[in-house]
Amino acid sequence: MKNSQLYKGSLTTIIMKLLEENGRMYGYEITQKVKALTNGELNITEGALYPALHKLEGEGFLDVEVEKAGNRLRKYYKLTENGQKETVNRLAELEEFIKNMQSLVNSKINPEVQF
């Protein structure tokens, strides 16, 4: 993942947001969707995606469905009711974070208030 340190904490929120918009998705689809949405800038690694999905599933935020896709089985994830509530909370938290970071990064030292 590009600049992994900066994105790391937001991975689960990104996943939940995508599931909220798209209903159910499978692992590979999530990586591709993120790549497409960020024009290839952000690349979720497989080693980070599946542990994050399994953790959310263990916490009861995601449900799984399995279907036959051609000659193999495919595992889909979707938000549970609890997961939907949690998504709203996490998105609000992330937006707050972005706002605070913006004011921190963009704050220019105003020479007039300096002595």
Partner 1 sequence: MKDDEIKKISDEEVEKLYDFTKKHFVYYYDLQVELVDHLANAIEEKWGEQPQLSFDDVLKAEFKKFGIFGFTGIVEKRQLALQKKYNKILWGYFKEFFKLPKIMLTLALILFLVKAMQYIHPITGGVLALAILLFSIVRFFVLNRQYNKKVKKTGRRWMLEETIFRCGGISFIVFIPYNFIQSLFKDEYTVTAQWIMATAIVLFALYEYIILYVIISKAEKLLNDTYPEYAVLKHN
Question: Count of CB atoms within 10 A of residue 12's CB?
Answer: 18
How many residues at the interface with partner 1, by CB under 8 A? 25
Reduced to 3 states, what is the DSSP secondary structure of residue 68? strand
Q: Is 8 a binder of partner 1 (CB under 8 A)? A: no
Each residue 18-37 as x (binds partner 1 by CB under 8 A) or -, in order, gives --------xxxx--x-----
Given candidates 4, 22, 38, 45, which one binds partner 1 under the rule CB under 8 A?
45
Contact 79, 91 (CB under 8 A): no
CB of 46 to partner 1, least distance (A): 5
70 touches partner 1 by CB under 8 A: yes
Closest residue by Cα to residue 52 from 80, 12, 10: 12
Lookup: tokens for 31? 């990586």
Report in angstroms how near the CB of residue 25 gets to partner 1 at its nearest.
Answer: 12
Contact 90, 13 (CB under 8 A): yes
Contact 92, 100 (CB under 8 A): no
Residues found near partner 1 in the complex (CB under 8 A): 26-29, 32, 45-47, 50-51, 54-55, 57-58, 64-66, 68-75
